[in-house]
A and B are shown apart, each in its own frame.
Chain A
Amino acid sequence: MTTVLTVDGLSVHAGSTTLVDDLGLQIRRGERVGLIGESGSGKTLTALGILGLLPEGLAATGTVRLAGVEPELVGASERQLADVRGRQMAMVFQEPMTALNPSMRVGAQVAEAITIHGARTDREARRTAVELLGQVRLPDPAALARAYPHQLSGGQRQRVVLAIALANDPALLICDEPSTALDVTVQAQVLDLVVSGVEARSAALLFITHDLAVVATVCERVLVMYGGRLVEAGTVHDVLTAPRHPYTRGLLAASDLERVDERGRLMTIPGSVPPAGQFPAGCVFRNRCPRATAECETVPPWSGRDRDSGFACFHPYGADEPLPGPVAPRSPVAAIADDLEDTARGGAVVSVRDVHRTYRRPRTSLRGRPPVVHALRGMDLEVGAGERVGIVGESGSGKSTLLRLVAGLEQPTSGQISVLGQAVSGQREPQLRFLRENLQLVFQDPMSSLDPRMRVRDIVAEPLVTQRHRRPAERVREVLEAVGLDHSAADRYPHQFSGGQRQRISIARALAPDPRILVADEPVSALDVSLRAQVLNLINDLVDRFALTLVFVSHDLAVVRHLCERVVVVHEGVVVESGPTDRIYAAPEHPYTRQLVGAIPTLRRALAGHDAPRPEV
């Protein structure tokens, strides 16, 4: 097979800081290679370095060779690069919202990609564009070509981006987390299209992701990055079943939500990814590595003969050493869930009865009524005292609306909501004091849920102030300690913390008033796997320790399965199925639930398919 891409000694620098260090890789024709690692490991910069698209202030050294292209790309001029980009190599970015020009029809954007490089006429380009839109299985491509990006869903937009990338039959396609921003069912379809699109053209694929299950579904070979260096490489099967490098092992253990230790806790990698430029000298992983010795202060050599397989570690694990921790056959809460069916245990602390919520959109025409969006259409939910309930649904299912209503932040259009036996719906803020004392929220985005202008001390104390707590300073220290933060954190500002630490602060704030009910809205979806495991363990511990009732909203059934004993599946504003988590996971009844469960990429399933031919997703 011919080599399409050869990267040698690629480094990316920002001033004196090295962000990508001496990276080498090669991809052959028709080969699908995954590049994995947590955020901050340099994956995206590697891709941008290959494409010559590094942001200003960053400079690349090394060589990047694309088969049949002269000269080598790192030293090439912008003009030469522009000629190669979009023709011989193309990229699909993570965010389909911003990758398209909002003021151009999507068909024209695909056609533009063709005419830039080809000598074809506009009419011909437009016809090819419609063909391409059909190839990415968009319904009625001719009509859809005339749509503007905002008229399409996220999944449709990502298909358009893919069509643009494939327009000139590139020899190399680079995808940077193309499905991360999408719902699971849509994710599966997009991944399938990437694979079939690449296969049809025998193109080489470099696929960047942090999700091991996704990489196992899409790729044949995988490269593991940490701290700007390649730490391990090999076939998907080898690397993901018998990892040699401690980082790969940690990553693998942390991302497996069914792998828990004897205390029912998820495996974690200690600490978090340091910011760029603050990785230790020598082996970049040594400050988080359980096997680090003095020897690791020098850079470990690459073990393999080429960059296709091998690892960089002085103390690798043996290929036959099992991963740490027994694989729990069931989630830790499964045992208590056995005698549970749909009904809530004990008295209901949260009760939602036949709740509707509609939003009125702005008028679109002078005649006719303004359009109405039905977010909830007859929602019912009961949560018993001490129960852990997961609410699962895709975006637009109404799960966030439900949370806002339960938290008394909005009013339902009709129906009753009560918490701890007291009405929440139809009440004014002064009557909701009981709710503020007993129910607290943890938000999804640790960046936007903390006021950037307030010190952590004031953020955590906020719920205490309104309740006239007698010793707020003391309570702040208590809860910060409970979430594993040093009390010196109290004097800092949120931007001084990493995402995982900020989520801890957010949890500390929720715990401060000693609530009985904790409502978490996708608290781990913005976090990397190792942090996800840490935060899930933390929530698990705190719920036990403070005897909380947990309502956990997520789009990720696996996360809910780990944490919750009962799951409620929400679709289009109604509950479609509800029951013990394990039953739903093992034997979903409702067609939507079945679709949801089937779409989740799991590592086990993907790896099972790796010896046999790849299963259709």
Chain B
Amino acid sequence: MVDPALPTPSSPVVHRGDVAGVGRRHNPSLVAGALLVALVVVVALVSFVWTPYAPSRVDTSSRLLGLSAEHWLGTDKFGRDVASQIMVGARTTIFVGVIAVGVAAVVGVPLGVLAAMGPRWLGQLVMRTSDLVLAFPALLLAIMFGAVYGSSTLTAMVAIGIATIPSFARVTRAGALQVLSREYVLAARVAGRRRLAIAVRHVLPNVSSLVIVQVSVSFAIAVLAEAALSFLGLGTPLTTPSWGRMLQESQELLSVAPRLAVVPGVAIAVAVLGFNLLGDGLRDRYDPKLERAS
């Protein structure tokens, strides 16, 4: 029974952001970031089926060659093809990012929600512990892990992941506290929702945009950390190509063949820039929505 005197509000209102005509769709940093990241992903995928040469094929007759049609990016001091190594190294980079960020997000996000919603002492405990972990340089933690468990890409990345947990916990807690002050959370409680249901149905979806941004930023940090660890000889083992170690090996030949340092350096820069731009773009895309909810 609809009262005739009541209007039937049938046409939904277009929300504010669209009115001004300045589209949210056109977001240069999002597009550029996505393209750069896509480039890295595609190169890594292609390397599974095809590389110009086997990346670890040593050919002493063709050492330190410059750029040419046979070797696009030249060869290193063992005559290995740099282009092939870069392609396979992209895999390591992505693997590293996924593991490190995965560990950080899977542990950090629930911790953050717990810190926001749990009893006061628990929240304090979580936050103070994360302060403690934050005070520890990530690389130092990775070096310790490497010393205890043997250096491998996995241990290094788990260590980086653990060191990144506090950032996720903090971001999530801050977002969750904001969400918890909204009246829809009160409404959910009045509706009889339990804490867990509120956390899953209301808090998590509404902090997801913050977490996405944190993921992309951490991804870039993890890639850099892996490069740094490999450069120090503590990350990826010798048999697996890695951009970081390519950089390390180029060191002694810096004056003879600077190209060997430039190529992996550019690759790292592209990946990091890509993830950072993607993160910025995603933040721009999602933050106004968060603003509007306030």
Contacts and interface: CB of A to CB of B under 8 A. Distances in A.
Main secondary structure of the interface of B (DSSP, over half): loop
Given A271-B7, A462-B188, A509-B187, 7 more contacts: A272-B7, A447-B292, A448-B184, A452-B292, A463-B190, A484-B9, A496-B12
Contacts of B187: 441, 443, 449-450, 462, 506, 509
A17 B21 contact: yes
Interface stretch (B45-53, B54-62, B169-177, B191-199): B191-199
29 contacts: A14-B20, A14-B21, A17-B20, A268-B5, A270-B7, A277-B19, A429-B194, A439-B190, A440-B191, A443-B183, A445-B183, A447-B293, A449-B184, A451-B202, A452-B292, A462-B187, A462-B191, A462-B193, A463-B190, A466-B192, A466-B193, A466-B197, A486-B10, A495-B289, A496-B14, A496-B15, A497-B9, A497-B12, A537-B5
A297 interface: no
A501 B14 contact: no
A452 B206 contact: yes
Contacts of A459: 184
Contact of B191 (A463, A489, A495): A463
Interface residues of A, number: 66
Interface in A449-493: 449-454, 459, 462-463, 465-467, 481-482, 484-486, 488-489, 492
B19 A444 contact: no
A538 B6 contact: yes
Interface in B1-24: 1-3, 5-10, 12-15, 19-22
Contact of B186 (A441, A482, A496, A498): A441
A546 to B, nearest CB: 12
B62 to A, nearest CB: 58
Contacts of B289: 452, 495
Contacts of B6: 484, 534, 537-538
Interface string A489-513: 1001001111011001010010001
B28 interface: no
A345 interface: no
Contacts of B292: 447, 452, 495
A453 B286 CA distance: 12
Contacts of A17: 19-21
B12 A448 contact: no
> Which of A433, A443, A482 counts the most B-chain CB atoms under 10 A from its CB?
A443
A98 interface: no
B128 interface: no
Contacts of A432: 192
A57 interface: yes
A270 B5 CA distance: 8
A498 B9 contact: yes
B12 A14 contact: no
Given A14-B19, A448-B183, A451-B202, A484 B8 contact: yes
Contact of A449 (B10, B12, B183): B183
Contact of A500 (B9, B190, B206): B9
Task: Please name the 10 residue pairs, one residue from A and one from B, whose CB atoms are nearest each other, closest first.
Answer: A15-B21, A466-B192, A436-B192, A463-B191, A496-B12, A484-B6, A449-B183, A453-B205, A443-B183, A451-B184
Interface string B264-294: 0000000000000000000000000100111
A481 B293 CA distance: 26
A409 B15 contact: no
A14 B191 CA distance: 42
Contact of A443 (B12, B19, B186): B186
A114 interface: no
Contacts of B7: 268, 270-272, 484, 534
A276 B18 CA distance: 10
Contacts of B12: 489, 492, 496-497
B256 to A, nearest CB: 53
A278 interface: yes
Contact of A409 (B14, B186, B201, B206): B186
B202 to A, nearest CB: 5
